Structure 1
Amino acid sequence: MAKKKTRIAAVADIHIKDSDKGKWAGHFKYISEHAEILIIAGDLTDTGDESEAVILSEELKSCKIPVVMVLGNHDYEKNREKLIRQALINENVHILDGEAIIINDIGFAGTKGFGGGFDNHMLSMFGEKAMKEFVQEAVNETLLLDRALARIESERPDIKKIAILHYAPISETVKGEAETIYPFLGSSRLSEPINRREVTAVFHGHAHKGTFKGKTTNGIRVFNVAKHILLKEGYQEPFFIFDVE
């Protein structure tokens, strides 16, 4: 008997502007006819204004499938992230911030993530207070991801897990960006719970000039689904489709 598949669509960095009214409704209608769950991995808004989130909420009314999101750095720009969440969350739209949700027997764990660099060039918690605070933010976000994944395992140890981030957990998917900004694009710390908890796949954005796909040291697939990357890869509709058995 053939195994049942759940089709996931993923995109990041849609950067909704006040002038984007009507521009995404058709895309969301299309994807709701071709997938069963939609992931948007951060930078939902362009300037972090709740008016942009209201426009996105209106556009998403044409999407008839569950939507799972995380916030990105742009969504924090004006310290209005709570208002953005309020404008978007409903029974069909879920924004994860160190939380988990199970949909169609798949566990989704999500958080924004943060920078700090990769591998042997990862920043350490040493030196000035400001540097320690920068590194601590990445540590905190990693702990949030780990706890969300643990929650899925405790509730449903039999199901597959998907991690949603905005920042990258590996350097491979930020290649193409200037190396000087790698510390601001993601952190290898994020890959530790991903490897240990045997996640099925990871979706992130943020690195607009990065690389579409890569793998963690344990071979877990990581996809940079920034809209800019998907368009560069030749996708006519700005969504990557991923099947989970």
Structure 2
Amino acid sequence: MTKLTNDEIRQNVRSRYKQVAIQQIQPTATSSCCSTDSCCDVHPDASVVSAKLGYSDEELSAVPDGANLGLGCGNPQAIAELKPGEVVLDLGSGGGFDCFLAARQVGDEGYVIGVDMTPEMVSRARTNALKGGYTNTDFRLGEIEYLPLADRTVNVIISNCVINLSPDKAQVFSEAFRVLQPGGRLAISDIVTTTELPPEIKNDMNELYSACVSGASSIEEITTLLQLSGFTDISIEPKDESKSFIKDWVPGANVDNYIVSAVIKANRP
């Protein structure tokens, strides 16, 4: 099998999430961009999926229609301990769901920046911001390996099941460290491996990679990458209960035997 380049992997992921962005969410829809209930699939009822990820009814009802696409593997803004006035960056912001929730927490004196590499997602998020009347959010087109932000301009970085999709995670964490202010923090939800992925999963650089499976790293690998980037106070907490929804991402593949959602935290000294 020909090994894909990093750019080819990004193009595959971008193409998949373009499909998600332009999908019309219908209550009875059954079509998907990949597999049922996966991290890259618009669920017929996104609120059902998000409730499983830890979002409250109040949070689900607080965002504009079309912002919650039922993506992700956790609730990063809930673990970020956001404070009024902080500047927050969301890596892979999608339709803006987590950004809008974060915007409520940081208030009018704070600011939330969402970065996404898919133009259709950025357009969708900007439309949702207008619908919701959000004046403290900004959605930018860019790759999380090359962030369109200046050095030391962000207090908190959040992300929801996106970093696993990057073929260059070392560069992602290096960029995260660069844009964080000293004393800033990283608070993300992402997928980690619990054991070695079998070859048929690990080598699938298209369907299963875009489904947040093949690109997952181990806790040890992520810890090392964070340390090499300069982060301290690193904490990675696997969430075994996430297997209840991960098992449905790729029906019949038993991916819950190999991956789990985790809460990943770290600080920039």
Relative to the length of structure 1, the TM-score reads: 0.34
Task: Return the structure number with greater relative CO, CA threshold 8 A, min gap 6.
Answer: 1
Relative to the length of structure 2, the TM-score reads: 0.32
